[in-house]
Amino acid sequence: MIELSTILLSNKHRAPVYARAMRAVVVYESLWGNTAAVGAAIAAGLGEGARVLSTAQATAAEIADADLIVAGGPVFAFRLSAESTREGIRQQPGPGAPPPDLSHPALRTWLDALPAGTAWFAAFDTQIRGPFGQGAPTIAKALAAKGYRQAAEPQGFVVEGKYGPLLPGELERAQRWGRQLGRVVAQGTGGNG
């Protein structure tokens, strides 16, 4: 039976549009706040109703009804953050390091526990500009392997130094990307850019 709330309105002249507000969840891992800030900006672009949740808050129940999951994490040691790199950071924070927030699990751990699904997804990371590794493609691969459908190419957002802050303009770019994702998913078309 078709659930009323999920009926799509369409005719032959228009792309299908959701009859109700799209449910989007932005899930992040963030030790120093940069990825969380990008996540909040993406949610602002997605618009009303988009929720921003840490990996601890984004329980299976919280994301069960999502049309779109946007997942992001930081690049450490040339790859997506992992429990091992976080443990290294916990044991030996660099000299002058601001205290890291290790209260929520690594995004990799969250992805491992994520049930299979068919919602749309988009992946992002935060990183230093240059050939210092990426995390977003790893996130995208994990979500695609669980059946989720990619709404846009993975995106990297750039910080100025090891602990941030984000480069000027990155939060605005994140918000624009969120707006674009919202359009892609509302039209139900998917996309690659």
Ligand X SMILES: Cc1cc2nc3c(=O)[nH]c(=O)nc-3n(C[C@H](O)[C@H](O)[C@H](O)COP(=O)(O)O)c2cc1C
Q: Please report how close the Cβ of residue 8 comes to ligand X at its closest, in angstroms.
A: 36
Q: Please, which residue, 32 or 148, has the CB nearer to ligand X? A: 32
Report which of 151, 111, 113, 147 is spatially closest to residue 22, judged by C-alpha positions: 151
Torsion of CA 49, 50, 55, 60, to 10 degrees: 60
Q: Please report how close the Cβ of residue 156 comes to ligand X at its closest, in angstroms.
A: 8
Torsion of CA 53, 59, 61, 63, to 10 degrees: 40
Report the residue from 32, 110, 121, 124 that binds ligand X according to the rule CB under 6 A: 32
Report the residue from 56, 60, 77, 113 that binds ligand X according to the rule CB under 6 A: 77
Q: Please, which residue, 11 or 91, has the CB nearer to ligand X? A: 91
Q: Please report how close the Cβ of residue 32 comes to ligand X at its closest, in angstroms.
A: 3
Work out whether 126 is an interface residue with ligand X (CB under 6 A): yes
The CA distance from 117 to 106, in Å, is: 20
Q: Please, which residue, 62 or 87, has the CB nearer to ligand X? A: 87
The DSSP secondary structure of 128-141, one letter per residue, reads ESSSS-BSHHHHHH
The CA distance from 156 to 72, in Å, is: 9
Report the residue from 22, 23, 34, 45 that binds ligand X according to the rule CB under 6 A: 34
Q: Please report how close the Cβ of residue 155 comes to ligand X at its closest, in angstroms.
A: 13
Query: Which of the ranges 5-13, 74-82, 106-114, 169-177 carries the binding residues for ligand X, by CB under 6 A?
Result: 74-82
Q: Please, which residue, 96 or 115, has the CB nearer to ligand X? A: 96
Q: What is the crossing angle of helices 34-46 and 170-187, to 10°?
A: 40
Work out whether 33 is an interface residue with ligand X (CB under 6 A): yes
Q: Please, which residue, 23 or 108, has the CB nearer to ligand X? A: 108
Contacts of 122 (CB under 8 A, 6+ apart): 68, 69, 70, 71, 150, 151, 152, 154, 155, 177, 181
The CA distance from 179 to 156, in Å, is: 16
The residue ranges that bind ligand X (CB under 6 A) are 30-36, 74-78, 89, 126-128, 132-133, 159, 162-164
